[in-house]
A and B are shown apart, each in its own frame.
Chain A
Amino acid sequence: MISQEQLIVSLALGLVLMLAMTAGAGVFTFFERKIAGWTQGRYGPNRAGPKGYLQFLADGIKFALKEDVIQDYVVKPVYVIAPGLMMIPALVLYAALPIGKPFVWNGNEVHLQVVQANVGVLYLLAVASIAVYGIVFGAWASNSRYPFFGGVRASAQMISYELAMGLSIISVVLLTSEPGINALSISNIVAGQTGYWFGFIPRWNLFANPVAFVVFLVCMFAETNRLPFDLAEAEQELVGGYHTEYSAMKFASFMLSEYVNMITMSMVMVTLFVGGWHFPGIEAIGSQVIQVLLSIGAFGIKVLFFCFLFLWVRWTLPRFRYDQLMHLGWKALLPVALASALGTAIAIALRV
């Protein structure tokens, strides 16, 4: 039974996060273009509003006012729901993630988490895999060759990388597991990362198992269909990939959900590997309010770093060839992730 305080916090958090994510995705598109410019020695968009910061509003208005073309040959019901199907997983994934330190309110412990699922890790994996349906449905319903290729590529890629991703998460679960602790609960995973080694290195899973961290990092890019793994929309080969036939707001929601996905995957990354809301020295802070606020801030800064990493990597690396992608997924990441899971298990068995 959840307490009244927890209910209020959950509802408020759900609403705020949903709005913040959609707005954040819009701002994200602006920074994507800015960083694209900076890495190429340009300025990026700098005309709309002060220093160009209103560019994302201009983009949004433009998308909203454009003609929404629905071609005669598309499978209309599927075509129309596909952008929504892509958006929904992106917007519900973060529900299981704690964004700040749990605190005590009226004698009840309150978690800064929309849903305190006791199998949160399974929820993450399940919702992340559903995300591909939006792409596949959109691609199939478009009834056109290039989108179809994009959809096939996206689904094949998702399957290949989900395995390695799941295995790297298993390493995390193993690291958290202790007798009497539900290691599938995400708040426990974060709580398990709050200690220190030798008194100063935080017990973040990133340091406990760097191999799993790297595997997850690579899979994170593949799962969000970002460069260097954006074969689903490789514009040189497939025009626009799965969203070739989409226009106006439908296209915009595909686009936005890509960016929302990036934010949520950064949040998952931070939660599982970089200690979530934990930062070194949090225990030394006396006041509970400041502790909670700083923990939310620490979480936000870590998420922003990974969001930046997405952009940084995108404008650094060229796209993988399709066979290289499959090679990397099945022949490199999968064995490495397996070995890392096995190694973690052995290490824990020896320690206990």
Chain B
Amino acid sequence: MATINVQRPERLTLAERLYLPAILNGLRLTWRHIWGERVTLQYPEEEREFKRVYRGVHRLNKDDKGRAKCVACEMCAASCPAHCITIKATEVEWPERDKIPKIFEIDELKCIFCGYCVEACPEDAIQMTRHYHLIARSREDMIFGLDKLLAIYDETKEQEVLRGVDFGVIRARIPGKEAGNPDEVQKLAYPVVGVVTKAETHHAQ
């Protein structure tokens, strides 16, 4: 008959069987933690700061005359896997373009924040900001129209955001593709950089 030799655990020493030394060690550890560092982010007062590759709420960029850069080519709507972009174009007699969007709506609830629209845009008109506060009281309010998207641009004008060309750098990390500059890739790799404290906001009671 075949026998199986089972490796029995070694007998514990007296100190181990008394539990007490181990318990004291544990107490010392938790004592250090009680006085140690707190890792919780106090959300309404503090927020994470992201690198510019963070894909947050969209914005529609304006040109130097304060008009939407968009030429209503519908490349973004075509590339959108979630079909959350609706564009109705209207014709204009401007020297540099002949079409602008009459309606430009992004359903932020349908959006999966993949960033394909940003990559597809030939005019760098649609971009994604680092804002991640997407709050509304109804589903209708979550459909952002032209005004809202342009207003977000005004708010985030100073922000350095994800550009269409960044996708080339990110893609380069995929095996089989041409390798990108490792420093560039590293800069884009992990989106969290730190914490911003907003002293002026009040405690949410």
Give 9 A-B pairs besides A42-B40, A312-B31 with Cβ atoms closer than 8 angstroms.
Answer: A39-B33, A41-B33, A41-B38, A42-B38, A312-B27, A313-B27, A316-B29, A316-B30, A317-B23
Q: Which of B30, B40, B204 contacts A39 (CB 8 A)?
A: B30
Q: Which of A27-84 contact B (CB under 8 A)?
A: 35, 37-43, 47
Name the B residues within 8 Å of A315 (CB-CB).
30
On whether the beta carbons of A39 and B34 are closer than 8 Å, the reply is yes
Please, which residue of chain A has its CB at the minimum distance from the CB of B35? A38
**Is B139's beta carbon under 8 Å from chain A?**
no
**Is B66's beta carbon under 8 Å from chain A?**
no
Question: How far is it, in angstroms, between the C-alpha of A317 and the C-alpha of B24 when the chains are bound?
Answer: 10
Question: How far is it, in angstroms, between the C-alpha of A214 and the C-alpha of B20 when the chains are bound?
Answer: 10
Name the B residues within 8 Å of A38 (CB-CB).
33-35, 38
Of listed B31, B38, B39, B204, residue having the most chain A CB within 10 A: B38
**Is B205's beta carbon under 8 Å from chain A?**
yes
Name the B residues within 8 Å of A47 (CB-CB).
203-205
Name the B residues within 8 Å of A42 (CB-CB).
38-40
Q: How many A-B residue pairs have CB under 8 A?
A: 40
Q: Report which A residues bind B (CB closer than 8 A).
A: 35, 37-43, 47, 214, 312-313, 315-317
Question: How far is it, in angstroms, between the C-alpha of A43 and the C-alpha of B40 when the chains are bound?
Answer: 7
Q: Which of B171-205 contact A (CB under 8 A)?
A: 203-205
* B 16-44 binary contact with A (CB < 8 Å = 1; else 0): 00001001001101110111111110100
Least Cβ distance of A51 to chain B in Å?
Answer: 10
Please, which residue of chain B has its CB at the minimum distance from the CB of A314? B30
Least Cβ distance of B40 to chain A in Å?
Answer: 5
On whether the beta carbons of A41 and B30 are closer than 8 Å, the reply is no
Name the A residues within 8 Å of B37 (CB-CB).
41
Question: How far is it, in angstroms, between the C-alpha of A43 and the C-alpha of B20 when the chains are bound?
Answer: 29
What are 24 sample pairs from A and B whose C-beta atoms fall under 8 A apart?
A38-B34, A38-B38, A39-B30, A40-B33, A41-B33, A41-B36, A41-B37, A41-B38, A41-B39, A42-B38, A42-B39, A43-B40, A43-B42, A47-B203, A47-B204, A47-B205, A214-B20, A312-B27, A312-B30, A313-B27, A316-B26, A316-B27, A316-B30, A317-B26
Of listed B23, B30, B31, B205, residue having the most chain A CB within 10 A: B30
Name the A residues within 8 Å of B205 (CB-CB).
47
Question: How far is it, in angstroms, between the C-alpha of A231 and the C-alpha of B174 when the chains are bound?
Answer: 51
Name the A residues within 8 Å of B36 (CB-CB).
41
Closest 9 CB pairs of A and B: A38-B34, A316-B30, A316-B26, A39-B30, A41-B39, A42-B40, A39-B33, A43-B40, A316-B27
Question: How far is it, in angstroms, between the C-alpha of A35 and the C-alpha of B30 when the chains are bound?
Answer: 10
Question: How far is it, in angstroms, between the C-alpha of A35 and the C-alpha of B35 when the chains are bound?
Answer: 10
Question: How far is it, in angstroms, between the C-alpha of A81 and the C-alpha of B64 when the chains are bound?
Answer: 77
Name the B residues within 8 Å of A313 (CB-CB).
23, 27
Least Cβ distance of A55 to chain B in Å?
Answer: 12
Question: How far is it, in angstroms, between the C-alpha of A330 and the C-alpha of B181 when the chains are bound?
Answer: 68
Q: Which of B23, B38, B42 contacts A316 (CB 8 A)?
A: B23
Please, which residue of chain A has its CB at the minimum distance from the CB of B33? A39
Least Cβ distance of B190 to chain A in Å?
Answer: 21
Least Cβ distance of A61 to chain B in Å?
Answer: 15
